[in-house]
Amino acid sequence: MARLDDAADHEGTSDQGDLAKARTKRAASAPARELLAFTAAPLPPLPRPPRYLPHALIVVAAVLLFLAGGPDLINFYDLNTATALVVAAASAATLVLALYAPAPAWWCSIALCATTATTLHFTQWPWPALLAHAGVLLLLSLRVGARTALLALILTGVVTVVLPLAGPGVPEAPLNTYRNLSLVVFTAATTTGTLVRAVARRPPGPHGRPRRPTPPGHRRRSGH
């Protein structure tokens, strides 16, 4: 009987270990699965009017990006009018798409960067694409977990670093300076979105405001 009990205990411990390993694997692969999820995750409206102000601001930013980016791509990146308008429109479109499907928008923005690097030999993000991708990272980090946002930022950094391999380009600024500036902008956008998401998801306090974290060893007073 004792041997049977020992065997049962060993089997139970083994099952728990297998379950823990499975959970660890799922947790490790969760960021990649979330980034590869080509599903809609629309940005929710604000709780109070004007409820769709963020959406309107993003659309206005996309329009301005297109209007200003096209001429700049012609003047500083030596593109013809049609190509410049296509690149500017695609950059603005990824920003609008991120309002409703941030993960697919991130992939579209990366694909746009890869396309311009291989076909136009850009050794950097064109500034319209840079600003659009920063906006996409911001909107993505508002809708996904922190580890998924970090993964997207790391992959963006890898793409930014390997861009010079595309060949001679038409940098508007020294390559290292522009690349470092791009990484700073992307990091700031991702960090901002992650922090805003963390604050928004914090459980509300007694007056409907987000509850502040309790310092270790400090006992919260109960209301009367």
Cα–Cα distance measured from residue 64 to residue 59, given in angstroms and rounded to the nearest whole number: 9
Cα–Cα distance measured from residue 100 to residue 88, given in angstroms and rounded to the nearest whole number: 20
- The residue among 76 and 199 whose pLDDT is bigger is 199
List pLDDT tens digits, range 58-83: 999 999 999 999 999 998 888 899 99
Which residues are CB-neighbours of 81 under 8 A, at least 6 positions away?
70, 74
Best CA proximity match to 171, nearest among 110, 132, 134, 127:
127
Alpha helix stretches (DSSP H) within the chain: 2-35, 53-76, 81-97, 102-119, 127-143, 146-162, 175-200
The ranges assigned to domains in the chain are: 35-200
User: What pTM, to 2 d.p., does this model score?
Assistant: 0.80
Cα–Cα distance measured from residue 131 to residue 12, given in angstroms and rounded to the nearest whole number: 54
Return the pLDDT at 32: 87
Are 149 and 194 within 8 A, CB to CB?
yes
**Both structure tokens of 138:** 């911001």
